[in-house]
């Protein structure tokens, strides 16, 4: 996948970039299993990435997966912005190789479920394999917030949302509250 090199023209001033629109649950695109990124997707990916980063940073969020902007492709963006220092990672075809037996509980939210948060139990550490834009393979050992974030984003590629890790009762409560919030949201042009 060496033709996934980022083109120099993808580096532009943020003001030129139109942020991608983030889909809100229960949009059906959020429930599909996305297909692997292939070398021939390179041109499309190059064109899409700036708008996706822009949408994620503006939200603001620490992760955004392709299905959240309606793309049937296995890639996700992550930047924890720890100490407000950008550390963007583009994860192409990521897969979890190993998880710890040790579990951790962490509060999660999602740009596709705005305003909704819940404590989710997941493995505390993971090893993830992914490809970068140059087609190189990487393995990343992550723990803490990064481990949670990686699992959350990889879940998106399989049509799984963080609420799926909760009890049916809690999940239904959150989905009802989200639907109510979305109905009450002023539409475009409502000021
Ligand atoms: Ni999410």
Residues 6+ apart with CB under 8 A from 95: 128, 129, 130, 154
Say whether pLDDT at 9 is over 60. Answer: no
Task: Find the range with the poorest average confidence among 4-8, 64-68, 116-120, 164-168.
Answer: 4-8
Residues 6+ apart with CB under 8 A from 175: 25, 26, 163
| Residue 65 CB neighbours (<10 A) | 29
Residues with CB under 5 A from ligand 1 (ion): 110
Spacing, Cα 5 to ligand 1 middle (Å): 26
pTM of the model: 0.89
Nearest to 27 by CA among 112, 108, 109: 112
Spacing, Cα 39 to ligand 1 middle (Å): 26
Question: Which residues are tagged catalytic?
Answer: 153
Say whether pLDDT at 92 is over 50. Answer: yes
> Distance (Å, rounded) from C-alpha 70 to C-alpha 175?
20
pLDDT number for residue 8: 45
Spacing, Cα 161 to ligand 1 middle (Å): 7
Spacing, Cα 151 to ligand 1 middle (Å): 10
């Amino acid at each position: 996948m060496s033709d996934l090199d980022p083109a120099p023209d993808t580096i532009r001033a943020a003001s030129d970039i139109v942020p991608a629109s983030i889909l809100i649950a229960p949009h059906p695109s959020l429930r599909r299993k996305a297909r692997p990124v292939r070398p021939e997707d390179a041109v499309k990916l190059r064109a899409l990435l700036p708008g996706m980063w822009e949408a994620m940073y503006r939200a603001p969020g620490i992760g955004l997966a392709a299905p959240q902007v309606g793309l049937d492709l296995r890639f996700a963006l992550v930047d924890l912005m720890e100490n407000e220092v950008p550390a963007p990672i583009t994860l192409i075809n990521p897969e979890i190789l190993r998880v710890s037996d040790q579990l951790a509980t962490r509060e999660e939210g999602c740009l596709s479920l705005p305003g909704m948060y819940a404590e989710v139990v997941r493995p505390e550490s993971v090893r993830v394999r992914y490809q970068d834009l140059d087609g190189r393979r990487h393995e990343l050992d992550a723990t803490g917030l990064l481990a949670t974030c990686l699992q959350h984003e990889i879940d998106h590629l399989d049509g799984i949302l963080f609420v799926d890790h909760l009890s049916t009762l809690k999940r239904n409560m959150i989905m009802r509250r989200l639907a109510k919030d979305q109905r009450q949201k002023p539409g475009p042009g409502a000021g």
